[in-house]
Amino acid sequence: MLVKGTEVHLDALRIEIQRRFGRPIRTKTDCQHLEERLYEELGSMVSYNTLRRFFGLVPGGTPRGAVLDILSTYCGFATYKEFSLDVRRFQFYYDWTQTIDRDRWTEAERDALLARIAEEDFNAQTIFLWILFKLTTQAPVTDWFYWLDHPVWDDGELTKAQLVFFSNSLADEFRMRLAHKEDMEVLFSNPRAFRFICHFFADYETIQKGYMANAIDVMAQRIDVPLYYHGLRVTQNFLSGNWDSIKPHALAATQHGPREGDYPILVGRYFCARFWVHYLDFGTWDPQLTRDYLDSAKGLDPHFHYLLGMEFLPIASIMGFSAPVLQIMKSSLFEFD
């Protein structure tokens, strides 16, 4: 089974085969002649029908690995894997020589790069990081929209992971450029761009003043993700000691509740809000909170357990509830080295 991002290697293999063959492969006859050539030179048989599918002359899927190995051997490589590595090296250098001093991208070029990112092409991801770095350090905020206001960033778990990667990699640049509320207002005017940057990079260092405080303030004008906004307000008011302002946001977060597909940090903010509602009313820990938290953790990949508790559990511990926190941490669900 081929991994994501290999289509560029298949295209390169088609080009290299035709270069070696001496002419384009466009007809059934071309494929029959290539079949004969492969057998004559390598002693290996690849049927012309397989070749027709590979070159897109008739509908069909990707050839088996053994076929790709034969075709790569015809091009001078021991295996398809070796050919792919060679293509990847070439692509890396080509991408960077075409990008390092580049200032303008047509819509078609931009869309092609973003399509490669969607397929987990690591070269394309590094190129995009460079583009973002230049934008966030040199260009007006409105210029960011050309790259960030794009449907490729809308859906899917992979997209969420990539947004976390990009926004966190450029954390220092965002802190610097969006330290003034006026710039944050400009970013907020474009919902996709604002989501790209601010919904996947919560900066606790500036949650009371600066980048994150500005982001939270403008979010109040249009609350796209209630758990995100109200959850951050709870943390902000806790850190500033403004406890009288915690409960309205905690109530709003609990009333909204988590939704299927919510990122674990969002679900953790829901539990944190429940903690505060109960604590501010009764001054105690709600035993049902322990049971519900563990039930939620059961449905997560273990790699995400820390995200579920990264805000909630430390706050509960600081507030004096280390015993129930330890009870949660000692559950058989969690394993520690």
At 68-103, the pLDDT tens digits run 999 999 998 899 988 887 776 667 767 777 777 788
Cβ(187)–Cβ(197) under 8 Å? yes
Closest to 177 measured CA to CA, from 228, 222, 142, 218: 142
Given this model, what pLDDT does residue 335 score?
61
Query: What are the domain boundaries of the chain?
Result: 7-88, 103-224, 225-337
Whether pLDDT at 148 is above 60: yes
Residue bearing the bigger pLDDT, 215 or 337: 215
Residues 188, 190, 196, 200, CA torsion sign:
positive
pLDDT, tens digit, for every residue of 234-246?
A: 999 999 999 899 9
The DSSP symbol for 210 reads: S
For the chain, list the strands marked E by DSSP.
none
Give pLDDT, residue 3: 41
User: Within 10 A of 47 (CB to CB), how many other CB atoms are there?
Assistant: 12
Angle, nearest 10°, between helix axes 107-118 and 141-148? 60
pLDDT range class, residue 337, cuts 50, 70, 90: very low
Total residue count of the chain as it appears in this document:
337
Q: How far apart are CA 112 and CA 118, in angstroms?
A: 10
Q: CB neighbours (10 Å) of residue 99? A: 17
Nearest to 145 by CA among 179, 185, 191: 191
CA distances from 109 to 75, 105, 218 (A): 29, 6, 33
Query: 160 pLDDT band (50/70/90 cuts)?
Result: confident
- Contact assessment for residue 123 and residue 9, using Cβ atoms and an 8 Å cutoff: no
Q: What is the pLDDT of residues 166-187, one digit of tens each?
A: 999 999 999 999 999 999 999 9
Task: Write the DSSP string, 240-280.
Answer: HT-GGGHHHHHHHHHHH---TT--HHHHHHHHHHHHHHHHH
Structure tokens given for 273 = 């809000």
CA distance 155 to 139: 27
What Rg value do the Cα atoms of the chain yield, rounded?
27
On average, the pLDDT of the chain sits at 90
Distance CA 131, CA 334 (A): 40
Q: CA–CA separation, 296 vs 305, rounded Å?
A: 10
State the helix-helix crossing angle for 80-99 and 122-138, rounded to 10 degrees: 10
pLDDT, one tens digit per residue, over 194-225 is 999 998 888 999 999 999 999 999 999 999 99
Give the helix, strand, coil percentages of the chain, each rounded to 5: 70, 0, 30
Distance, CA of 24 to chain centre: 38
pLDDT greater than 90 at residue 251: yes
With tokens 């004008």, the residue in question is 221
- Which of 222, 217, 276, 267 has the alpha carbon at shortest distance from 249? 276
Q: Is the model's pLDDT at 4 over the cut of 50?
A: no
Confidence band, pLDDT 50/70/90 cuts, at residue 313: very high
pLDDT range class, residue 5, cuts 50, 70, 90: very low
